[in-house]
Structure 1
């Protein structure tokens, strides 16, 4: 347990107190909880190597072998041949995740779940409790341990500090950054410690001579704005520990910024017909979730992954806003030629719809957090369907949603699904609504 920059006492905390709880190796820990004979042994939750799967979570016993999340399954099997493998049980993970969130809600109504295994919470003294925030965090850890799993918690004055602190002392760590000490805590860390700074942004910062958060905090704001747009000044502010954060409870959560889905394929797609079928398949998954949430988006983003190191994205506005995959899926297909030429192997396809209520992203940082983002293109209008045609298509989409909701995703198979039969990876699908369901560490 680490409290590196001071230890709070009764009445010692001044100002906001925000925690980030991160369940340790969550999927693997649940499997070890439910299979006592697996405890103390390396456990990997992920897709099979034969179907080009990737590691979702590796237990801490597997990590000394070099296994980590998002690693190709074939590589993990080579590094740790004696590991126990399982494809995972998402319903069980959701069940335990819900219990964890209810434990946090016993302490504060301000709980913002950002993924299946992470949540921010506000324990500012005097807001909901007069108790020391550190003591509250320790009690949350103890109650989660009683469930048979563990968590790590970062505590600071804003979300950025809490997030980075939560990764400081895993597993079952508690890292406390006292008020006024955020800048000292952040300064020596590499820029990629800041969420949202992916490989592309890291490389651009490196070319500017910026390698640490301390250097980023001292960067010229206007220069950062010219290079990174509106995200530039925000990065400087966050790196300096000056971010102002608000934890929004589930009941009061604003509309998600995006809804997306991506699928990995067991073998590369090289023909245009196959890649377009994949776009249609993923778009349909996104469309179903958009309609279930009553959301219509004004921007679509297409993501293609060619191998483990090379990913590209491109986005385009939609006019008018839509929740129909026939509309945004068609535009995503039109964007294909800007990213890809026929014959180039594609291993992953992703589609994201954003821009709800007129908000649209402006830079790569707002996308899938990968490099090679492309500039916005002119808005694209829907085809010239008559009102009667659109109503008929809408009823068809809603009927499809109803059948799949009632009888399962496989109850209704369309042409593009048949074309992709036996090509999908068996890794748990990475789909999210402004937050990722895939675990961290």
Structure 2
């Protein structure tokens, strides 16, 4: 028997949450963005009215205002978005323990165990989110995760799309291949060069031949296009802690100026920090990714002595990596930041010798206060290497 999978996407999430506190702006083009006074601030999210003006995510606010002179720009409030994301997921978990978030505004639900139809459950959840949170959602209903996700993308906003074994070819196979799940710009360009322009073309492709060009990812792309995605919707317990947390953003225009690139890194750093806070994690490796206009993707990373949690620290490390390796290069179309070597914020922060030296006191009173830190480190080293090898030193008067 086929599974019943829902994919729920909260429409224009950031902008919609902002409008809950500003109902007077509902009939105006609204975007959530950075500091407009910097000229290079970018669009993080937009409402449907702004979208109708042709405004795109990640383009500069300067360009967005040229398209819509009466545009309203609101600053982001990531803590508020996190609150609404958690409230929505709490509703979802009343219907299934198998709820797998896909970013702050999307989630898959496996409701196969319930007697109601997937469409009926989608309608009920959709009504509850609107009634309890004041937000609209689009829901895709299908027998697998890929088609459920594409169903929620098919009709927006505030809609339900049922993808069945009888209609999936008519609805999905006609779509451009770059709209297929996990087909990025670089992969789409390669596929189009091979004459694979639609999802149906991808489904008809020979995965073995395609894997010689795209690698092993080709197999899952072809099978998923055929409706053979059997990946499970993971419960919270099955998901476990994330191994990395990252955000990347493709821009609608070439990025050439340092100010615009730094602004985008600033916005990405804020979102990464928010996602880390949601997961209760900190990380010890910062990795950046850049993709130029020739679809060449490069990454650089650095390991840190002290784990990062704050957006300002993430931005500092990411920007130093960019300036060291990529500044002054070809125009860019994608930037990303990923934090690796994650650990729980509840875990004790292990003090390194560098940390201790950085806290070297400058006065006698400060030195006395610092003694517990020295003693704690000394005890740890003695336990590790033996007390006969590690002992406290004393300054001798001369």
| Structure 1 length-normalised TM | 0.64
Rounded to whole Å, the distance in 1 between the matches of 2:17 and 2:3 is 33
Tell me the equivalent position of 2:158: 172
1:36 aligns with 2:62: no
**1:108 pairs with 96, 109, 112, which one?**
96
Is residue 252 from structure 1 mapped to residue 238 from structure 2 by the alignment? yes
Determine the structure 2 residue equivalent to 1:61. Answer: 49
- Give the structure with the larger helix fraction: 2
Partner of 1:392: 353
Contact 2:142 2:163 (8 Å CA) reproduced: yes
CA pair 209-47 structure 1, distance change in 2 beyond 3 A: same
Q: Aligned partners of 1:350 and 1:172: how far apart in 2?
A: 30
Corresponding residue number in structure 1 for 2:298: 314
What is the SS of the residue equivalent to 1:57? strand
Paired residue for 2:258, among 266, 269, 288? 269
* Residue of 104, 117, 121 corresponding to 2:109: 121
Aligned length: 334
Q: CA separation in 2, counterparts of 1:67 and 1:123? A: 36
More contact order relative to length (CA 8 Å, sep ≥ 6): 1
Q: Which residue in the other structure is 2:12 paired with?
A: 25
Task: Answer whether contact 2:301 2:321 (CA < 8 A) is retained.
Answer: no
Gaps in structure 1 of 5+ consecutive residues? 1-13, 357-388, 398-441
Offset at residue 43 of structure 1 (A): 1.4
TM-score (norm 2): 0.70
Give the 3 Å change call, closer, same or farther, for CA 29–212 of structure 1 in structure 2. same
Could you report, residue by residue, the CA deviation over 1:266-292 in whole angstroms, capped at 9, with x for unpaired residues? Answer: 99339xxx99xx89x97xx88x95996
With 208-217 and 182-191 compared, the bigger mean Cα shift is at 182-191
Provide the residue aligned with 1:137 in structure 2.
Answer: 122
Query: Paired residue for 2:66, among 56, 78, 90?
Result: 78
How big is the shift at 1:30?
A: 1.6
The answer to whether the 8 A contact 1:113-1:250 is kept is no
Q: Determine the C-alpha separation between the residues in 1 that align with 2:123 and 2:167.
A: 21
Does the CA contact (< 8 Å) of 2:243 and 2:341 recur in 1? yes
What's the CA shift string for 1:205-238, capped at 9, x where partnerless?
Answer: 0111100111111111111111111101111111
Note the C-alpha offset of 1:155. Answer: 0.8
Q: Which protein has the larger Cα radius of gyration, Structure 1 or Structure 2?
A: 2
Separation (CA, whole Å) in 1 of partners of 2:231 and 2:246: 25
The 2-side partners of 1:60 and 1:72 are apart by 18
CA shift in 2, pair 1:96/1:333, >3 Å: closer
Is the contact made by 1:154 and 1:166 (CA closer than 8 Å) also made in structure 2?
A: yes
Are 1:27 and 1:57, in contact at CA under 8 Å, matched by a contact in 2? yes
Q: Give yes or no for the alignment of 1:214 onto 2:175.
A: no
**Following TM superposition, by how much is the alpha carbon of 1:162 offset from its aligned partner in structure 2, in angstroms?**
0.8
1: CA distance, partners of 2:164 / 2:354? 56
Residues 227-279 of structure 1: per-residue CA shift (max 9 Å, x gap): 11110111111111111121112233134353236799x99339xxx99xx89
How far apart are the structure 2 equivalents of 1:394 and 1:40?
53
Distance apart, 1:346 and its partner CA: 7.5
Structure 2 residue 210 is matched with structure 1 residue 224: yes
Q: Distance in 2 between matches of 1:188 and 1:72?
A: 32
Does the 8 Å contact 1:55/1:70 carry over to 2?
A: yes
